Amino acid sequence: MAKTKAAIRHELTVKKRAEQGTRPVRRLRRQGLVPGIVYGREMEPLAVSVNQRELTRLFHSKHGEHALVTLRLQDSKSWEKPALVHAIQHDPVDGHVVHVDFHAILLTQRVKVKVPVLLTGESAGVKQEGGVLEHFLREIEVECLPTNIPAGVEFDVSAMQIGDTVHVNDLTPPTGATILSDPAGVIASVQKPKEEKPPEEEAAAVAEPEVLREKKPEVVPGGETEPAKGEKGARPGSAEGRAGEKPAEGKKEK
């Protein structure tokens, strides 16, 4: 059974930054600030900076990067924008956020966002039969008003047996939202446990070493034998063989 988790709106205070470029940006980061930009319809892009700790706290919340954020401009009582995080850049070494893009939106217009799929409960096939629960599709795309963006869609896997599969069309659409992901997409399935081979079978599966056997001499026409390749020796009846033979008894050498 699918269940929708309601979204919570977060607030962030941003500060307008006049200087741009590599040096000013590095200076901001040393001060614990993250450079960013706010853009959207009916507004000029605005270069801003935001407190790194507040931004990290937002991303580590249950709603993470999918959260609906209310941006407030420091030293301004009237500037306020609902926004979604559009893009994030991380430092490749320490993983810290080094830049963020905010997309200012209108609360009256539907948006397309990706939300996580969360599996809850313990599968009967796993608990009773030792199966393995595989979680494949971890996000789905939905379309809804910004105020209806769900924090996630939960699915209870308690009734799943070995061989059962959950697809996107098995999920209950979040309130006020339409699921856009492929209905046939596989969310999760319970697989049979892998069978381990007994030690005897594993030992039998090991290839036996090849036994080298002595090569027999080849038989040639006339009843004579041909020495095996690599062996030395003259063939009986040949000139070389006759040279070392003794004369037959009863015959005298001339």
Q: What is the 3-state secondary structure (H, E, C) of 130-186?
A: CCEEEECCCEEEEEECHHHCCCEEEEECCCCCCCCEEEHHHCCCCCCCEECCCCCCE
**Plot region of 246 (φ>0 → left; ψ -120 to 50 → alpha; else → beta):** beta
Please indicate, yes or no, whether residues 11 and 93 belong to a single structural domain of this protein: yes
Q: What is the pLDDT of residues 7-42, one digit of tens each?
A: 556 899 999 998 778 888 889 999 999 999 999 988
Domain of 156, in residue numbers: 112-191
Please indicate, yes or no, whether residues 45 and 93 belong to a single structural domain of this protein: yes
Per-residue pLDDT at 220 exceeds 70: no
**One-letter amino acid of 152:** G
Cα distances from 249 to residues 237, 239, 241, 246, 252, in angstroms, run: 18, 20, 18, 9, 8
Number of domain units in the chain: 2
Domain boundary among 172, 191, 210: 191
Please indicate, yes or no, whether residues 95 and 18 belong to a single structural domain of this protein: yes
The CATH number covering residue 161 comes to 2.170.120.20
Please indicate, yes or no, whether residues 12 and 85 belong to a single structural domain of this protein: yes
Please indicate, yes or no, whether residues 177 and 134 belong to a single structural domain of this protein: yes
Q: E-assigned strands of 55-95?
A: 68-73, 80-90
Give 69's pLDDT tier (boundaries 50, 70, 90): very high
pTM: 0.66
Is 252 within a domain?
no
Helix (H) or strand (E) holding 243: helix 239-243
Domain boundary among 139, 165, 191: 191
The CATH number covering residue 101 comes to 2.40.240.10
Please indicate, yes or no, whether residues 90 and 19 belong to a single structural domain of this protein: yes
Q: What is the pLDDT of residues 143-196, one digit of tens each?
A: 999 989 888 899 999 999 999 999 999 999 989 999 999 999 999 999 998 776
Alpha-carbon distance 14 to 50, whole Å? 5
How would you label 66-104 residue by residue, b for 16+ Cβ within 10 Å and e otherwise?
bbbbebebeeeeeeebbbbbbeeeeeeeeeebbebbbbb
Per-residue pLDDT at 96 exceeds 80: yes
Please indicate, yes or no, whether residues 101 and 120 belong to a single structural domain of this protein: no
Please indicate, yes or no, whether residues 93 and 132 belong to a single structural domain of this protein: no
Per-residue pLDDT at 138 exceeds 60: yes
Cβ contact 213:156 at 8 Å: no
